[in-house]
Amino acid sequence: MRNKWLHKAALLAISTLLLAGCSSAPTKEQEKQSTLKVMYSDESYFFKQYGDLFAMKHPNIDVEVVSTSGMNQYDPEKDHSKAFDKLVEKEKPDVIMLNTDNYAKYAADGKLMELDTLIQRDKYNTDTIYPALLDQLKEQGGGKLYGLAPSFYGDAIFYNADLFKKYGVDIPKDGITWQELLDLARRFPTDGDDKSRIYGFGNEYAMGINDLAQQIASTEGLKYINPDTKKVTINTDSWKKVFKQAMDAVESKAIYNPKDGGFDGGTMEEYYKSQLFLMGRMAVTRGNTNILQNIKEAKNAIKDYKPFGVGIVAGPVDPSQPDKSRNMAVNEIFCIRANSENADAAWEFIKFVNGDEFAKIKSRNLSNGLLTRMGYSTEYDGHSLEAFYKLKPDLESNLSSTGDPIPFDFYMKLHPLIEKEIGLVADKQKSIDEALTTIQEEGQAELDQAIKERDAEKGKESESSDQASTGTK
C-alpha cells in the first residue's frame, strides 16, 4: 500500500498547476476515500507513467500495485498464462492490465466488467479515441467494450522527399504494398562507393534476403508454424513468393545490406552517422516514431548536419486487406475485474488515463507510444503523425494459440536452420524451392522431437506430483 498524494511532492505542485484549469467539482462518489488495486507489469513504472498524475487528480483514491514483474522473467518452460490467471484469482485486483493475447479470453470468460454502461452513464466521450482501435476492442469483446488502451505502437513508411524530387520518382502513397515499395526503391541509383552512395530502401542495420522476407511475411500474416496442428508451414507458395520478392530486391543492390552488418558500437554521434536515412542517404525506410526522435537528436549531435524533407505514409499493407495493418501493437488494455468491490474507483482510473487531461500532458513525449486519444499527438518536431492513424489495427493476427505453446527450444533450432538455408540461396548454392523443402522437413523433425521431449518431461512432473500428494515413493 502506498499513499500516492505524498509521492513526489515536487511533481504534485507542478501537476496541480497543470490540471487546475481543467478540474471539475468532485462528485459525492469521488469524495469517498477508497483503495484501488491495480495489476500492472512494474510498480515503479506504473507510478511514473500513470499513478502520480492520477493521484494529483484523485487524492482520495489510494492505489496499490500488484506487480507482475516476476512473471516477465524469461522461463521457456513456464506457462505464463496460467501463472497470470492464478495471480488474478489470488490478488483480486480492481484494474487488470491485459494485452491482445488475454483480453478477448478474459472478456469471453466473464472475468471483466463491460464498460458500455459506465460510458453511457457518465456521458464519457469516446468519439476522439482512435475509432479503428475501439472497434477492434469491441470486436474482441463480442460486440461489447471491456477495456480501453491509452496508447499503441505502430510502424509507417518514412521517405526522403528531397531524394524523390532530385531523381524524379513519385512519392509513396498511403496503403503502399511491399511490392510497390521495393519497385520504388529500384528507381534510385545504385552507383557510387559504400561511403557516399544512396540506397532506395533499408533499415537501421544490414538487410539480407531472410531479414527482408521476415518483414514482408509479418505484414502479410505468414507464420512458420500452425500452432494448432503443430506443423511447420514454410514450404508454401506464399512463402516462396515472399522469399523471391526479397531475393530480387537485395540482388538489385537497391537495399542497404553492407557486408559488415552496419553499426556495431561507438559514440552516439557515430551511431547517428551510421544511420543512412538520418544522414539523407536513404530514400525510404520503415519504422516507428523513434525515427523522428533520432532525426531531432541527430540535428543537435552532428556538426553541419544537413536537414531534409521527411514524409510519412501509412503502410506497408497486405494487398488482401489494404485498409489494415498487422504491424500495430496494443500492450496495455486497462479493464475492470468482474465483481470488483471498487468498480467506481477503477472506472475513474480508466477514464483518467484515457482522457483529455492525461493525453494533453503525455503528448509531449512519444517514448511510450502514440496516444489513442486523438487530437493531441498530431505532430512531432514539425512532422505530422496522421499516417499512424490511417490504417485499422489487425489485432487478431497477433493472438497466440489457445492450445499448448510451441516449445521455445524448437525456435532456437529453427532460426539457425532458416538462416543457413537462405544463406545458401544467397550464395546461389540452392534454389528457394530446395531451401524451403529442407527447412520444412528438418524443421518438422525438430518440432516433433521438441514436443515429444516436452510431453515426456510433463509426464515426469505429473508423476512426481501424484507421488508427493499420496505420500508414495
The pLDDT tens digits of the residues spanning 393-431 come to: 987 765 555 556 788 889 999 999 999 999 999 999 999
Tell me the three state secondary structure of residue 317.
strand
Burial of residue 362 (number of CB atoms within 10 Å: 0-12, 13-18, 19+): buried
pLDDT digits (tens, 9 = 90+) for 116-131: 999 999 999 999 999 9
Section 142-146 average pLDDT? 96
Backbone CA torsion sign across 459, 462, 464, 470:
negative
pLDDT digits (tens, 9 = 90+) for 263-273: 778 889 889 99
Least confident of 245-249, 364-368, 464-468: 464-468
| Amino acid 15: pLDDT | 43
> What's the whole-number average pLDDT of the chain?
88
pLDDT digits (tens, 9 = 90+) for 322-357: 999 999 999 899 999 999 999 999 999 999 999 999
Q: Around Cβ 259, how many Cβ atoms within 10 Å?
A: 7
Q: Around Cβ 1, how many Cβ atoms within 10 Å?
A: 8
Spatial distance between the Cα atoms of 318 and 311, rounded to a whole number of angstroms? 21
Bin 375: left if φ > 0, else alpha if -120 < ψ < 50, else beta. Answer: left
Q: Tell me 425's DSSP state.
A: H
Residue bearing the bigger pLDDT, 73 or 132: 132
Spatial distance between the Cα atoms of 377 and 361, rounded to a whole number of angstroms? 10
| Amino acid 20: pLDDT | 40
- As given in the structure block, the three cell numbers for residue 366 are 512519444
In the predicted model, is pLDDT for residue 160 greater than 80? yes
In the predicted model, is pLDDT for residue 158 greater than 50? yes
Q: Scanning the structure block, which residue is given the C-alpha cell 543512412?
A: 276
Spatial distance between the Cα atoms of 21 and 290, rounded to a whole number of angstroms? 32
| Amino acid 204: pLDDT | 87
Residues 65 and 46: beta-carbon distance below 8 Å = yes
Where along the chain do its domains lie? Answer: 4-153+327-394, 156-207+255-324, 410-467
Residues 155 and 313: beta-carbon distance below 8 Å = no
Nearest of 371, 346, 316 to residue 155 by alpha carbon: 316
β-bridge pairing 151-154 and 370-371: antiparallel
In the predicted model, is pLDDT for residue 26 greater than 50? no
Element (H, E) at 421: helix 408-426
Spatial distance between the Cα atoms of 441 and 445, rounded to a whole number of angstroms? 6
- pTM of the model as a whole: 0.86
Greatest pairwise CA separation for the chain in angstroms: 81
In the predicted model, is pLDDT for residue 461 greater than 70? no
Name which CATH class applies to 4-153+327-394.
Answer: alpha beta
Residues 201 and 283: beta-carbon distance below 8 Å = yes
